[in-house]
Amino acid sequence: MKIKFKKYESGGNDFVLIDDRENIYDLTSDIIKKICNRNFGVGSDGLIILKKSSIADIKMFYYNSDGQPSTLCGNGTRCLFSFSISIGIIGKIAKIETSEGIYTATISNRNLVSLKMKNIDNVILFDNKAYLNSGSPHHVEMIKDLNKISVNKMASSIRFSSRYSPNGTNVNFFNKISDKKFEIRTYERGVEDETLSCGTGATAVAIAVHAMGLTTESEIIIQTRGGELFISFEASETGYKNIYLEGPTNFVFKGEY
């Protein structure tokens, strides 16, 4: 069976998107893994299946490139929003059902796609590092010169460490450019590689640097390898709320697999 798809990206974080509201396709983990393979398939960091939802405007099933279902993907959710607009099933604001609950996406004043994230009440600080869940789990660590490190080697040892056993974690290394701007490099579990951008990773870093006392700003620009993401939030004694992940999404191409 031919599988119709569109490919989108946000900051180089790329996704294959499939409209399966009519339950046409039977996509096994092996098929998803092959589609995501950059040598033998379409090539992407993840695959997203659009389904009908009984509790939201649309429903999202997200899979990493290893073919396994995963937790929230911030960039992928924003790409699904743009994809759904392109096929005419939603307007400029929508509720999206995900494995981590219902998220609201909209078009921002910058004409970018904005996703309201869940509140974050718990940021664990240790040894000048941080751990938090921004929809997906993230280890956050400051590295002065991001250009001189082997991200895959350093991050994989953290991702598979006993501290984060058995499920592992995503890993983010960051450096401070200014109080307003931080640069990051992210290693994603399930992809098992560095990705050019990660929405939940950018969110995690923005919250972590505030919790670590490295900034007092309430909107942070995160410079990823693939472009800029904007994270805004409200901080209080009990945690962080009204968190928004904002950035561009771009249609790349469409085809049949």
Give tens-digit pLDDT for 235-246: 999 999 999 999
Query: In this predicted structure, what is the pLDDT of residue 212?
Result: 97
From 17, 32, 49, 73, the catalytic residue: 73
Give mean pLDDT, residues 190-219: 98
What pLDDT, in 10s, does the model give residues 147-193?
A: 999 999 999 999 999 999 999 999 999 999 999 999 999 999 999 99
Give Cα separations from 100 to 20, 125, 212 (angstroms): 20, 24, 26
Give mean pLDDT, residues 19-28: 97
**79 catalytic residue (yes or no):** no
Give Cα separations from 94 to 72, 170, 198, 244 (angstroms): 16, 27, 21, 15
Phi, psi at 211, each rounded to 5°: -65, -30
* Residue 54 backbone zone (phi > 0: left; psi -120 to 50: alpha; other: beta): alpha
What pLDDT, in 10s, does the model give residues 107-154?
A: 999 999 999 999 999 999 999 899 999 999 999 999 999 999 999 999
Average pLDDT of the chain to the nearest whole number = 97
CATH code: domain 4-107 is 3.10.310.10
Domain regions of the chain by residue span: 4-107, 124-247
Q: What is the pTM of this model?
A: 0.96
Q: Is the fold of 4-107 the same as that of 124-247?
A: yes
What pLDDT, in 10s, does the model give residues 56-68?
A: 999 999 999 999 9
Query: In this predicted structure, what is the pLDDT of residue 14?
Result: 98
- Give the DSSP H/E element, type plus range, for residue 172: strand 170-176
Please, which pLDDT band fits residue 4 given cuts at 50, 70 and 90? very high
Percent of the chain with pLDDT over 70: 100
Domain 124-247 architecture: Roll (3.10)
Three-class SS state of 26: coil
- Give the DSSP H/E element, type plus range, for residue 229: strand 227-236
Please, which pLDDT band fits residue 83 given cuts at 50, 70 and 90? very high
Query: In this predicted structure, what is the pLDDT of residue 249?
Result: 98
**198 catalytic residue (yes or no):** yes
Which residues have C-beta within 8 Å of that of residue 231, sequence separation ≥ 6?
202, 203, 206, 207, 219, 220, 222, 243, 244, 245, 246
From 155, 198, 206, 211, the catalytic residue: 198
